[in-house]
Chain A
Amino acid sequence: SQQGEEDPQALSIQEGENATMNCSYKTSINNLQWYRQNSGRGLVHLILIRSNEREKHSGRLRVTLDTSKKSSSLLITASRAADTASYFCATDRGDYKLSFGAGTTVTVRA
């Protein structure tokens, strides 16, 4: 079964707006990662947050992690058309494997 579940399944926003998506997971983790997938392409790593971190920033990306609620959020600020993609959270439990959620599809309208 999938370890992570993203919410919402799909999101449509206007260029310049912020996009927020959430990820919930079931068991304890070492870290949580977010990946982006453009249509027809492979996944690309965006950002990693460790279990002892609460917030992390990378450019226009902000990730939070609440281990007590077993949840994470990814915020993309000032969205651009190029941010149109599917976004996946992945949990690392320290056992060599990453477990991925079903993803959030983000559409940024011009």
Chain B
Amino acid sequence: NAGVTQTPKFRVLKTGQSMTLLCAQDMNHEYMYWYRQDPGMGLRLIHYSVGEGTTAKGEVPDGYNVSRLKKQNFLLGLESAAPSQTSVYFCASSYRSLAGPSGANVLTFGAGSRLTVL
């Protein structure tokens, strides 16, 4: 049972280069998320998706794009990398246990992708 798999695990980019982070989940979860983690800042939501073909902005979406063409995959793209995007990126997936206020999203996280932009 792989859970959530992120590739690549490490990447070094130069300012202005582009790249895509891939997240794949095998749990048939509806919801998928991309977070970034910076020292002292906790996790901040970049973009998320509530189903195949849908995406929405999170707390810090600028400089990133996402796509969810297949239910099991969620891609995070950086079109023109900046040093401020140096971070550890986490993908997560979930399903809501019940609809409405009684429901709960419990996230399953990937191992993270460490990105350095020089």
Contacts and interface: CB of A to CB of B under 8 A. Distances in A.
A102 B40 contact: yes
Interface string B84-111: 0000001010001000111111111111
A59 interface: no
Interface residues of B, number: 30
Contacts of A31: 104
A100 B42 contact: yes
A94 B111 contact: no
B11 to A, nearest CB: 16
B59 to A, nearest CB: 8
21 contacts: A1-B59, A2-B42, A30-B101, A30-B102, A41-B111, A42-B92, A42-B111, A43-B92, A43-B107, A50-B102, A88-B42, A90-B107, A92-B105, A94-B100, A94-B101, A96-B96, A98-B33, A98-B107, A100-B35, A102-B40, A102-B41
Interface of B: 4, 31, 33, 35, 40-45, 48, 50, 58-59, 90, 92, 96, 100-112
